[in-house]
Amino acid sequence: MKDAVESSVERLLGEIREEVRATSAYTGRTELAERVMAAMRKVPRHAFVPDDWQSGAYCNSPLPIGHAQTISQPYIVALMTDLIQPKADDVVLEVGTGSGYQAAVLASLVRQVYSLEIIEALATAARERLQRLGYANVEVAAGNGCFGWPEHAPYDAVLVTAAAAQIPQALIEQLKPGGSLVMPVGERYSGQTLRLLRKDEQGRLAQGCTLPVVFVPLTGTAQCSSV
């Protein structure tokens, strides 16, 4: 069983590398940082996938996790992680915990992850799963991620795993000068692009990366202001 999982993981990593090269015109990346790829190798994706979908745990595709939500495609998880250029001492805000897989990858690379999930049942399940797997540097809360988590701000990076027509203003305000925010932006299930926002030391914003993507919608956006 262990050999089969290791073989599946290595095959998946190869597919991620191929897709990174194939999408380099959009992302500006022909390869991802080795420590990001090491985190992708280390985190057991099958532990975050529902029992009914275990056969596809190491396929390079999103999978349903219930409540009309998904665990993201591994390539997208790796790319979004790489785009924020995570450092060992970083504190990162994630919006959209889902199964906890993206949080686990981040936790392997940074000092602390704060993760918000609007669906309470998913937040509870992810919190228990991450604790059981030993990710002590992840804190999960149920709440509307559009407002961020101001108690722990500012953040070195913000990563949003659901799409909205615009970026919530609170998330930009909670981003440190010199920090990065990555989020899919666009209409519900169509016309979305993955955006990278960087805030310079003077607080000015610059955008990059326009990879076409499809994410589930970020809920709760009607209650908060955006840019």
Q: Give the domain CATH number at 135.
A: 3.40.50.150
Bigger pLDDT: 100 or 3?
100
Q: Give the per-residue pLDDT at 163.
A: 93
Structure tokens belonging to residue 171: 């998330």
* Least reliable range by pLDDT among 58-72, 123-137, 157-171, 204-218: 204-218
Q: Give the per-residue pLDDT at 208.
A: 83
Average pLDDT, the chain: 93
Q: What percent of the chain has pLDDT over 70?
A: 96
Which residues does 102 contact at the CB level (< 8 Å), separation at least 6? 72, 77, 80, 81, 94, 96, 159, 161
For the segment 166-187, the average pLDDT, to the nearest whole number, is: 95
Task: Report, in angstroms and rounded to the nearest whole number, the Rg of the chain calculated over CA atoms.
Answer: 16
Check whether 207 has a pLDDT greater than 80: yes
Structure tokens belonging to residue 189: 């299930």
Place of tokens 């326009």: 210
Structure tokens belonging to residue 202: 């003077």
Confidence category of residue 191, pLDDT binned at 50, 70, 90: confident
Q: What is the pLDDT of residues 87-122, one digit of tens each?
A: 999 999 999 999 999 999 999 999 999 999 999 999
Question: How many folded domains does the chain comprise?
Answer: 1
Q: Give the per-residue pLDDT at 123.
A: 98
Bigger pLDDT: 174 or 225?
174
Categorise residue 53: left if φ over 0, alpha if ψ from -120 to 50, beta otherwise.
alpha
Q: Return the bridge partners of 190, or none.
A: 187
Q: Give the per-residue pLDDT at 5.
A: 85
Catalytic sites, residue numbers: 72
Q: How far apart are CA 89 and CA 91, in angstroms?
A: 7
Q: Give the per-residue pLDDT at 43.
A: 98
Q: The domain containing residue 192 runs over which residues?
A: 2-223
Q: How far apart are CA 154 and CA 43, in angstroms?
A: 27
Nearest to 221 by CA among 141, 133, 160: 160
